[in-house]
Chains A and B, each alone.
Chain A
Amino acid sequence: MKKKVRAVLLTVLAAACGFVLAGCHGSKGLEAFVMPEEFDSAREYEITFWAKNDTNKTQTAIYEQAIADFEKLYPNITVNLRLYTDYGKIYNDVITNIATGTTPNVCITYPDHIATYLTGTNIVVPLEELAADEAYGLGGNKVLFDSPSVTEIIPQFLEECSFGGHYYALPYMRSTEACYINKTYVEALGYTLPKELTWDFIWEVSEAAMAQDESGNYLVNGQKVLIPFIYKSTDNMMIQMLHQKDAGYSTEDGDIYLFNDTTKELLLTIAEHGKTGAFSTFKISSYPANLLNAGQCIFAIDSTAGATWMGTNAPLLDISEDKVVEFETVVMKIPQFEPENPKMISQGPSLCIFNKNDSQEVLASWLFMQYLLTNEVQIAYSETEGYVPVTLKAQQSAEYQNYLARCGEDNGLHYEVKIKAAELLLNNVENTFVTPVFNGSASLRDAAGGLIENTVKSVRRGQEINDAYLEKLYADTMSLYRLDQLAGQNSSTSSGKADLGKLPKTSVILLAALIGAWVLITLYVVCSRVKKEKK
């Protein structure tokens, strides 16, 4: 029963926007972290770790085991675990706790969120110095476990944690999105799945699936309910569609280009299929997995980290067993506009360290954070879902390779859909991308999803989706997410492009007087020289 997540997803906005705009300006903040010469192992440390699990008790058990194993190695460090089931709630709580100086020590988070935390002074610890330290850094000689070296972290995943001129995080797990398909229904409708999915194919099959009999039952599933195409994360949907079309979204400097003509075209297409009922979203209808497993959906797009919920034989189930329908599940890349040049998002949890007055406490936090990158934790956690370990060391280990090779052997640890989802990312790392991270990028992401959610809701309510509607939607969305107030928030964001309007009259007069004075001075100098030469 994962309903609580829906409640939280919608509550992130206010805190985020408020913090983005207000930052911690005026607050005293902390001194910058300074690396201690030695780790003082004679002292006792108590650190807190805010972690996210996917409502999956195996993940909880892995965190607990990792803490127990780490505490055996470092008996003077106690780690207190606080569990969350979604990133949004962590984000909210971190923002609240920054204000009170009670941030956790180590936290699972998204780079977009860290960018917001950075508006405070020395809130998040830059990791370069810690990572490079010969004794306690990655692979350091005084680290009491087999820590990965920096070169053993997948470079692309590590790079995703670099922004604002520093590495503020380390990757913990990586995932992407996948399309989970009821192949049985696709073929029943007379279609064959192509090698690469396209948006046109999905829209066409989804519309074909809407045929009903006289009693209102859909022909393809014989049920009264069918949403052929459902998307879990509409912010990802919009971001990936725009990226595939090489259309604007944002720049590294924080310039916002989301509200463009390509976005309008995409929204018009989405509205067309939202109107017929061929397309819906998680926020509007339900979890994609629930609909897919009940035979009420054909194309379900969700994170690869949701793979254990997908399919007839899914190990995790959120509907009663009597509702589950038999079908063949296929895992494919998300649909593309140019299948020969696929593009998909890279996502997944990262780890950051919050700064404290006690640099030894920060070092203790860093040691624990490193421990989460060991093979023991990386392999165990990645196997709970369609996640991929972030170190080459773990990916290339015999244990992990054996896990992959046993794909489909059982419907538990080796559940086929889950391992195929992980392989989808392993085989496409070079086709992944991330969006620029800056103060406000989290709000922009929410706005991107909001455009789709509002368009689909409106069209279902009988509103006409046209240029006037979309113009108003743009204005409302910019205002709601306070994107119109973000210009200039990032120091290099506006790059002098912000339209400041006409100059005041007094300024114009002053400037004209200055120009006039310089002209007169120049004339005077020229005249004086001419006179001198004549003499």
Chain B
Amino acid sequence: MKKFISLLLVAALVFAFAGCGSKDGGDAADVKSEGVMTYEEYVAAALDSEVVIETYVQAKQSWWDNQATVYTQDKDGGYFLYNMACSEEDYAKLTQGTKIKVTGYKAEWSGEVEIIDATFEIEDGNYVAKAEDVTSLLGTDELIAHQNKFVAFKGMTVEAAGQDADGNDVAFLYSWDGSGQDGDDLYFNVSLNGETYTFTVESYLCDNTTDVYNAVKSLNIGDTVDMEGFLYWYEGVNPHITSVTVK
């Protein structure tokens, strides 16, 4: 009897963990509800067409005037939700991993594919994406297929972002050309295999109180860094970095 009870408990534990795994996403398939597009169908949808997707909140950029801008992702790809209708109360509920069903229009602004004029409802489910290493895809045409995903870049070298008023090279700039101040977006350059890319700390996503903002302000030219962030696009790849580790 004791053996039976022990087996029963083990079995129960196994099922319980399996259940948790399914809730977290794990390897379980991301089955869409009826009338909801798969990521593949979303990619195939024409610009300006109505889209209905189910996705999971990964990070929130901003809320104002009952509109939220949110980075989301399902198990197949990323979706950037720009100025989605959202009350302040609902915005508080959009914690990392929250599953939402979104109805809106597919649009493209300066190369960034996004969903605009959207509404959403919260559903049961939770998934937090792990950063996918796309370092080797930098400079290739394949990178854009990962647009809006949470990604990682490893072993890149910090290059000069510009010059200060005295003409000295600096590792980062406030605003794209150094015309900004503390609290504005940070721009910094990192290179790999001789190619240089501009990465950004988007101040609405990570303001000047965050670790990443201060880590970038502490960078030195020549540092080797690992980074994570969202694969945003603006006239080319322009990742919104959320963490930087100097190696």
Interface residues in A313-343 (C-beta closer than 8 Å to B): 316, 318-320, 323
Q: B59-71 toward A: CB 8 Å interface, digit per residue (1/0)?
A: 0001011110100
User: Is A83 in contact with chain B by the CB < 8 A criterion?
Assistant: yes
Contact A318 B109 (CB under 8 A): no
User: Is B179 in contact with chain A by the CB < 8 A criterion?
Assistant: yes
Q: A78-99 toward B: CB 8 Å interface, digit per residue (1/0)?
A: 0000110100000000000000
B interface residues, how many (CB within 8 angstroms):
35
Contact B110 A287 (CB under 8 A): yes
Interface residues in B176-190 (C-beta closer than 8 Å to A): 176-181, 184-185, 187
Q: How far is it, in angstroms, between the C-alpha of A11 and the C-alpha of B67 when the chains are bound? A: 8
Contact B180 A83 (CB under 8 A): yes
Residues of A within 8 A of B69 (CB): 7
Residues of A within 8 A of B107 (CB): 284
**Minimal beta-carbon separation of A311 from chain B (angstroms):** 17
Residues of B within 8 A of A15 (CB): 65
Contact B187 A61 (CB under 8 A): no
Binds A, one of B7-15, B27-35, B138-146, B233-241: B233-241
Q: How far is it, in angstroms, between the C-alpha of A286 and the C-alpha of B65 when the chains are bound? A: 23
Q: How far is it, in angstroms, between the C-alpha of A411 and the C-alpha of B184 when the chains are bound? A: 29
Interface centre among B67, B69, B175, B187 (most CB of A within 10 A): B175
Q: How far is it, in angstroms, between the C-alpha of A286 and the C-alpha of B108 when the chains are bound? A: 9
A interface residues, how many (CB within 8 angstroms):
35
Contact A13 B177 (CB under 8 A): no
User: Is B147 in contact with chain A by the CB < 8 A criterion?
Assistant: no
Q: How far is it, in angstroms, between the C-alpha of A279 and the C-alpha of B180 when the chains are bound? A: 33
User: Is A59 in contact with chain B by the CB < 8 A criterion?
Assistant: yes
Q: Which residue of A lies closest to B107 (CB)?
A: A284
Residues of A within 8 A of B48 (CB): 457, 460-462
Q: Which residue of A lies closest to B233 (CB)?
A: A3
Q: Which residue of A lies closest to B204 (CB)?
A: A7
Q: B61-97 toward A: CB 8 Å interface, digit per residue (1/0)?
A: 0101111010000000000000100000000000000
Q: Which residue of A lies closest to B177 (CB)?
A: A57
Q: How far is it, in angstroms, between the C-alpha of A60 and the C-alpha of B174 when the chains are bound? A: 12
Q: Which residue of A lies closest to B235 (CB)?
A: A319
User: Is A10 in contact with chain B by the CB < 8 A criterion?
Assistant: yes
Contact A4 B179 (CB under 8 A): no
Q: How far is it, in angstroms, between the C-alpha of A316 and the C-alpha of B175 when the chains are bound? A: 14
Contact B200 A1 (CB under 8 A): yes
Contact A59 B176 (CB under 8 A): no
User: Is A391 in contact with chain B by the CB < 8 A criterion?
Assistant: no
Residues of A within 8 A of B235 (CB): 1, 286, 290, 318-320, 323
Q: How far is it, in angstroms, between the C-alpha of A323 and the C-alpha of B111 when the chains are bound? A: 13
Q: How far is it, in angstroms, between the C-alpha of A61 and the C-alpha of B178 when the chains are bound? A: 10
Contact B198 A1 (CB under 8 A): yes
Partner of A290, one of B50, B110, B198: B110
User: Is A251 in contact with chain B by the CB < 8 A criterion?
Assistant: no
User: Is A56 in contact with chain B by the CB < 8 A criterion?
Assistant: yes
Contact A11 B109 (CB under 8 A): no
Partner of B179, one of A60, A82, A318, A319: A60
**Minimal beta-carbon separation of B196 from chain A (angstroms):** 11
Contact A285 B109 (CB under 8 A): yes
User: Is A250 in contact with chain B by the CB < 8 A criterion?
Assistant: no
**Minimal beta-carbon separation of A87 from chain B (angstroms):** 16
Q: How far is it, in angstroms, between the C-alpha of A499 and the C-alpha of B237 when the chains are bound? A: 55
Q: How far is it, in angstroms, between the C-alpha of A6 and the C-alpha of B83 when the chains are bound? A: 11
Q: Which residue of B lies closest to A316 (CB)?
A: B177
Contact A461 B50 (CB under 8 A): yes
User: Is B117 in contact with chain A by the CB < 8 A criterion?
Assistant: yes
Partner of A1, one of B83, B117, B234: B234
Q: How far is it, in angstroms, between the C-alpha of A287 and the C-alpha of B110 when the chains are bound? A: 8
Q: How far is it, in angstroms, between the C-alpha of A6 and the C-alpha of B66 when the chains are bound? A: 16
Residues of A within 8 A of B108 (CB): 285
Residues of A within 8 A of B67 (CB): 10-11
Q: How far is it, in angstroms, between the C-alpha of A55 and the C-alpha of B66 when the chains are bound? A: 27
Contact B62 A57 (CB under 8 A): no
User: Is A53 in contact with chain B by the CB < 8 A criterion?
Assistant: yes
Partner of B176, one of A2, A61, A83: A2
Q: Which residue of A lies closest to B112 (CB)?
A: A3
Residues of B within 8 A of A511 (CB): none
Contact A55 B236 (CB under 8 A): no
Contact B65 A14 (CB under 8 A): yes
Residues of B within 8 A of A286 (CB): 109-110, 235
Interface residues in A425-484 (C-beta closer than 8 Å to B): 457, 460-462
Contact B181 A11 (CB under 8 A): no
Contact A1 B187 (CB under 8 A): yes
Q: Which residue of A lies closest to B234 (CB)?
A: A3
- Given contacts A6-B109, A285-B109, whether A57 and B179 have CB atoms under 8 Å apart is yes
Contact A13 B179 (CB under 8 A): no
Known: A53-B179, A61-B165, A85-B179. 17 other contacts (CB 8 A): A1-B198, A3-B110, A3-B234, A14-B64, A15-B65, A55-B175, A55-B176, A82-B181, A83-B179, A83-B184, A85-B180, A285-B109, A290-B110, A318-B235, A320-B236, A460-B48, A461-B50
List chain A positions with a Cβ less than 8 A from chain B. 1-4, 6-7, 10-11, 13-15, 53, 55-57, 59-61, 82-83, 85, 284-287, 290, 316, 318-320, 323, 457, 460-462
A-B contact pairs, 13 of them (CB 8 A): A1-B176, A1-B187, A1-B235, A11-B67, A14-B65, A60-B180, A61-B165, A85-B179, A284-B107, A285-B108, A285-B109, A319-B236, A457-B48
List chain B positions with a Cβ less than 8 A from chain A. 48-50, 62, 64-67, 69, 83, 105, 107-110, 117, 165, 175-181, 184-185, 187, 198, 200, 203-204, 234-236, 238
List 3 tightest A-B contacts by C-beta distance, closest first: A14-B65, A57-B179, A1-B176
